[in-house]
Structure 1
Amino acid sequence: MNFPTTVNDIAPAAPLVDALVRALPGPALMGTRHAGAPLTPAQVASAVTATFVGSRSAELSLVLIDQEGLAEAAGVSAGMVRPGDVLRPALEEAAAVLGEGMLGAIREGDASALFSAPDTVVFDLVGEAGVAGWFAVGIRSAAPRPAADPHLSSKLGRINNVEMTLAVEIGRTRMSVRELLAIEPGAVVELDRAVGTPADVLLNGRLIAHGEIVVVDQEFAVRITRILDTVEAD
């Protein structure tokens, strides 16, 4: 595993681990730069990983050693909440440091490729009893926009009929596992957005625009108010 050697390599990732540990459930932890032996595939086999897409994109991966405690906190026996669901809020807090964008779906399993990548910064998550886990941050610079392709129209013609999923998200909320398991039909869940706040428009799970909810012929619709520039840059 190759580690960055300069302060400039580490600096962009340091605020992410600070935000992460503040939001992690359980005993307080602190993030310190990993300087020991490379992590083995077995150590990162139960990682929780997600991709952030925005003005700066990144791969984020989190491993907690106490898997039994994490499973207990998730309430896996109830069949509703996975460990990744419990850790997602902490990953979202870390990703928010990167600016506007969206954190993708949680992936659970082996993250050795990310932890061993040369441009990934790895942190130890340290508590009173020692190292409690690891956090990997791989920040990706926005790729330069390619030169215009004179044959682009003909190339796009080949996929013109491919269907993609466009979804609109009006808000989110966070609740404890106890609150989640207590939900019953008729319960009202308050979201994190005020009435009139633009909704997020997602293309195959990727944030591409903002819009406002309208009604057209007795059906809900969305009026696009802003197209995000990062869609073209990423």
Structure 2
Amino acid sequence: MTSPESGSAIAAAAAEATATAAAEAAAEVLPAVEPLTAGPAQPGSPHVVAAFAGAALADLAAPVPGRIAILVGQDLVDALADSPLGGLDLHAAVQPALEAVAGRLGSQVRDARTVSLDDLVAELAAPGGAFTTVPLIGVGIDAAVLVTDDALAGPPAGGSASDAAQPPAARVASASERIETIENTPAFTAPLDEQPRRPFTAISGHRGLEMLHGVDMEVTVELGRTRMTVRELLALSPGTVLELDRAAGSPADLLVNGRLIARGEVVVVDEDFGLRVTEILDDAAAV
């Protein structure tokens, strides 16, 4: 018969295993110059949060309660701010990582947003009062995944059918082996908020752009625009024709993050619309 103490230990180890698995999924898709590896899970604190430069937060969809967050260093924050495509939102850049974490928790992302570090601590503490941190290790401790403890207590982390069918003790043993391997390395024998860190320094433009190579961007093709009064908008009905500020046959605009970067011709490819790019615009021409 399992004692209350051993039951609590198993539950705690299972929660750590779930957090580590979620962080491993995020490490595969988070923008970084060097491949990231998940470190050992540990209790979160304001000191951990303060060691980073930016944060993206998201709620989890039912039935899993709680919130998740991604912390990043100054390198990625600077790369997003100085992108050749203009300033990019942090939460949009790390959206795939947030979705990967939520997927391992058996949920989906709701209402992802970029938040200040101070607001992050307050929002993570609001649901259940505690959260777990898993550092993501590249050149140094480059990022971290934060999961509220109520989320870790929800449905088991996603994965293969065989993993989900394993009893908690088996999942704990597997995760404990991974954690032990990392903890036994000299660089990670102390809690995250006690780790010496490399200073956050501005990276070169080349390396900054390299960090963003895997970031998904929303691309919009615009045929034209017009302005209408509220009365005209309310009078819209099926069959209404809107006159745009673009002559027939004029090239369409290609916009990324709201910024005009190219023009081209609208074509049809296998019954779908497409754009054949005819002109790439420099900064001066794109205004």
Q: TM-score, normalised by structure 1?
A: 0.51
Q: Which amino acid aligns with 1:84?
A: H
Q: After TM superposition, give the deviation of residue 68 of structure 1 in Å.
A: 3.5
Q: Which runs of 5+ in 1 are unaligned?
A: 144-174, 187-216, 220-234
Offset from partner CA, 1:147-181 (integer Å, 9 cap, x none): xxxxxxxxxxxxxxxxxxxxxxxxxxxx9668646
Query: Which of the residues 148, 165, 182 maps onto 1:138?
Result: 148
**Any conservation in 2 of the 1:76–1:83 contact (CA below 8 Å)?**
no
Query: Which of the residues 58, 83, 108 maps onto 2:66?
Result: 58
Query: Which of the residues 30, 40, 43 maps onto 1:33?
Result: 40
Rg: which structure is higher?
Answer: 2
Q: What residue number does 1:158 align with?
A: none
Q: What residue number does 2:102 align with?
A: 95
Could you say if the C-alpha distance between residues 46 and 101 of structure 1 is closer, same or farther in structure 2, counting changes exceeding 3 Å? closer
Greater Cα offset, 51-60 or 72-81 = 72-81
Aligned partner of residue 72 in structure 1, secondary structure: helix
Q: Does 1:120 align with 2:131?
A: yes
- State how many pairs are aligned: 152
Q: What residue number does 2:30 align with?
A: 24
**Any conservation in 2 of the 1:50–1:61 contact (CA below 8 Å)?**
yes
Could you say if the C-alpha distance between residues 84 and 76 of structure 1 is closer, same or farther in structure 2, counting changes exceeding 3 Å? farther
Query: Which of the residues 8, 15, 30 maps onto 2:21?
Result: 15
Offset from partner CA, 1:101-141 (integer Å, 9 cap, x none): 442231321222337975311111111x2211221111426
Q: If each structure's strand is expressed as a fraction of its own residues, which one has the higher value?
A: 1
CA RMSD after TM alignment? 3.8
Query: Which of the residues 84, 105, 111 maps onto 2:112?
Result: 105
Q: What residue number does 1:42 align with?
A: 50
Q: Which amino acid aligns with 1:125?
A: L
Tell me, in whole angstroms, the C-alpha distance in 2 between the residues paired with 1:100 and 1:126: 25
**Any conservation in 1 of the 2:58–2:109 contact (CA below 8 Å)?**
no
Q: TM-score, normalised by structure 2?
A: 0.43
Q: What residue number does 2:222 align with?
A: 185
Q: If each structure's helix is expressed as a fraction of its own residues, which one has the higher value?
A: 2
Tell me, in whole angstroms, the C-alpha distance in 2 between the residues paired with 1:37 and 1:94: 17
Greater Cα offset, 28-37 or 91-100 = 28-37
Aligned partner of residue 104 in structure 1, secondary structure: strand
Identity of aligned residues (%): 19
Offset from partner CA, 1:13-35 (integer Å, 9 cap, x none): 22211111111122211111255
Q: After TM superposition, give the deviation of residue 88 of structure 1 in Å.
A: 1.2
